[in-house]
Amino acid sequence: MPDETTSSEIVVDPAPHAAWLPDGALAAAGRRRVAVVGPPDDEVLVTVRREAERATSAYGGAVVGPDDSPDILLEASSVLDSSSNGLNKDHVSTLDVESGFRIVRDGGRVTVTAATATALLHGWFHVVRLGETAFTGPDVDERHAPAFALRVLDHWDNVDVHPVMGQVERGYSGGSIFYADGRVRDDLSRVTAYARLLAATGVDRVCINNVNVHAREARLLTDDLPEVARVAAALRPYGVRTHLAVSFAAPMTLGGLTTSDPLDDDVRAWWRAAADRVWAAVPDFGGFVVKADSEGQPGPFAYGRDHADGANLLAEAVAPHDGVVHWRAFVYDHAQDWRDRSTDRARAAYDHFAPLDGRFADNVVVQVKHGPIDFQTREAVSPVLAGMPATRLALELQVTQEYTGQQRHACYLAPWWSENLGFRPWGESADGAAVRDVVAGRGPSAPAAVADAGGGGIAAVSNVGDDRFWTGHPLAQANLYAFGRLAWDPTLDPAAILDEWVGLTFAGPDGGVEPRVREALHAVLDDSWRTYESYTAPLGVGFMVRPGHHYGPDVDGYEYTPWGTYHFADRDGIGVDRTRATGTGFTGQYPAPWRDVYEDLATCPDELLLFFHHVPYTHVLRSGVTVVQHVYDTHFAGVERVREAVAAWESLADLVPGALPPDVDARVRERLAEQLRSAVEWRDQLNTYFFRKSGIPDAHGRTIH
Ligand code: GCW
């Protein structure tokens, strides 16, 4: 499918789409008199002032001095202490003090204060988000601070176009915003525009290359440092720090050593020197991201060492610079024999990592995919998140829609992420602690080092490319926005975030949004993740996608492969027995109550039934229908839901041009048409597969092929 609109009637504006920061979004703040106070040579403070100028020059306000009765006073000062930004240092973390801001509305006048210019910039965008409501209503005095100290977007961008994975691995939005023609782009203005969008959500760190570090990409760490410094300089004005994914084999492949053994003194010295050079080139560099001993990437296993040895090697190298190592827990056997039913990929991360709890250095963050398998539309929450109390853990999400429709399907993922963040691994015990508490460093029995560091935070694979709309599907922008907002405040309601995104993205010149546009976007997106789930793999079984590119249905595509992703369908039933009683024992990796809730067929939630149990097609779900009837019902219903989404969008036709820009409309229509085609294909293949396997007809006599 082409990534650019080809219709000859549409005049495509070559400038990148404004996403959630069109001028209209700045209208309310832009009508005001704004004063900016802070260290004048601070690069981010210069940005705050520029943002204020941009908004006010478009809308008739003005940038004024602090004594000229501003409507908005923005004040950053490194000498601001706990009392002046409204925070009492005895009762709040460093995170609140350094990254938070205070907003006071007093008789319609708004004052934002923060200890750093970056926090002030986040405060400015908070005012932008509020629109007119920032200035109306009763007086307020609020403190806002991010829930997580580390809020990272990982880019799986390659410098060279990879023969199989392309320029951006699992990218569905054109090329890379960082690289083209085998090198860092000359023009990085798009990178700065990206940083601006991120700053408006609160994300402040970006890893700029793929975790699969190929030979060309490995050199970013050495020869290409001046180029990395250029990227960092493009991100820095918006307070976004740069990280690099590095290869564990770098001491050999780049350094000419004969080993990469983490306990070897020459290897340690090589990494220390490498880190010193990185920080010399990029003084505010963030740290390294590592995928080791996973899907063919090199790692410590080659030397009989474990992941703690490997991670601590790099931690030692970056520690003098206050750097962080994000070490991924996505480790499993990708050369499994499908005949072997005792090996369970779901178990792998916990089996590898949980025994290492307590051995990781303080500046190591173990980055854990939300589910034990691989970013599926539905899977259980990874038990690793409950199994390493003494380790800084980060939750890893996938904004890029590898398994959720590849930005051809509208699939708003915030409800899914929100479920994961709110999952309570210990049920009501442990004070009801949820995943979001664990990754904030507030899990049960978190030692001081984990709590003081604010835990490991959150990371996600970005969905952005050089596509005009950034994300291929214009509505996939909502996922990037929602990730940033949940990374700041994981308790936000996904529907409210969507509403906020609509309010900004579709703001007309006066700042308002046409109510029908708002309504239609909610109709298309609010439940789109559940709709997607309903016409794809059922009941948490996962992986019925076409092998390799992972788009479209292929029920048995992965069934006899080495990847460890099986559903075990036969003529009688389907699902993976992960119980302790008769299966792989995976349920035993959870604490109570889930180890028992999942173990028992009578209590296992329907939506995860096939993730935990192998059952007959005639098994009656808690919903009252059989498994096979559930497959038929949800697949028929899912296609109808997509038809409704298409109709909701088409009902806006009279608003084009006007409230709805023609190019956005054209791209969304093209994507919705493909979504409908694909949903029908999923429905027909899945229903036919299950009918042929089971021989059980649809209770309602609908057409199955
Ligand atoms: O989901 C899988 C993807 C790989 C990816 C891997 C990972 C970067 O199919 O493309 O590799 O996950 O997370 O490392």
Per residue in 651-660, pLDDT (tens digit) is 999 999 999 9
11: which residues sit within 8 A by CB, 6+ positions away? 662, 663
pLDDT (0 to 100) of residue 462: 98
How many C-alpha atoms does 416 have within 13 Å on its Cβ side?
28
pLDDT (0 to 100) of residue 442: 95
Q: How confident is the model at residue 1 (pLDDT cuts 50, 70, 90)?
A: very low
Q: How confident is the model at residue 42 (pLDDT cuts 50, 70, 90)?
A: very high
Please report, for residues 204, 282, 538, 578, the alpha-carbon distance to residue 200 in angstroms, rounded to integers and kept in the order given.
10, 23, 36, 42
Average confidence (pLDDT) over 573-588: 98
Neighbours of 170 (CB within 10 A): 19
Average confidence (pLDDT) over 492-503: 98
How far does Cα 605 stand from its chain's mean position?
A: 25
* Ligand 1 centroid distance, CA of 484 (Å): 21
In the block, residue with structure tokens 């709805």? 660
| Cross-strand pairs, 36 | 74
Q: How far apart are CA 397 and CA 403, in angstroms?
A: 12
pLDDT (0 to 100) of residue 93: 57
pLDDT (0 to 100) of residue 137: 85
pLDDT exceeds 70 at position 579: yes
Average confidence (pLDDT) over 55-75: 97
pLDDT (0 to 100) of residue 98: 85
Window from 10-14, 125-129, 183-187, 284-288 with minimum mean pLDDT: 10-14
* Ligand 1 centroid distance, CA of 537 (Å): 19
Q: Tell me the DSSP string of 582-622.
A: TS--GGGGSPTTHHHHHH-TTTS-GGGHHHH--EETTPBPT
Identify how many contiguous H helices and E strands the chain contains and give both numbers.
Answer: 23, 20
Q: What is the pLDDT of residues 403-443, one digit of tens each?
A: 999 999 999 999 999 999 999 999 999 999 999 999 999 99
CB 287 within 8 A of CB 325: yes
* Ligand 1 centroid distance, CA of 330 (Å): 9
Average confidence (pLDDT) over 60-77: 96
pLDDT exceeds 60 at position 116: yes
Pocket around ligand 1 at a 6 A CB cut-off = 156, 169-170, 211-212, 291, 295, 330, 374-375, 402
* Ligand 1 centroid distance, CA of 383 (Å): 19
Structure tokens, 267? 């290897």
pLDDT exceeds 50 at position 615: yes
From 611, 617, 629, select the one nearest 572 (Cα to Cα).
617
Element (H, E) at 311: helix 307-318
Atom of ligand 1 nearest to the CA of 170: 10
Active site residues: 295, 374, 402
Q: How far apart are CA 13 and CA 633, in angstroms?
A: 43
Rounded to the nearest integer, the mean pLDDT of the chain is 95
Q: How confident is the model at residue 634 (pLDDT cuts 50, 70, 90)?
A: very high
Atom of ligand 1 nearest to the CA of 375: 1
pLDDT exceeds 70 at position 558: yes
Element (H, E) at 545: none
Q: What is the pLDDT of residues 239-276, one digit of tens each?
A: 999 999 999 999 999 999 999 999 999 999 999 999 99
Pocket test for ligand 1, best of 168, 209, 402, 404 (most atoms within 8 A of CB): 402
Does the predicted model carry a pTM greater than 0.75?
A: yes
pLDDT (0 to 100) of residue 77: 80
Average confidence (pLDDT) over 79-108: 67
From 207, 168, 378, 392, select the one nearest 289 (Cα to Cα).
207
Among protein residues, the one whose CA lies closest to atom 2 of ligand 1: 374
Please report, for residues 137, 309, 506, the alpha-carbon distance to residue 24 in angstroms, rounded to integers and kept in the order given.
22, 52, 8
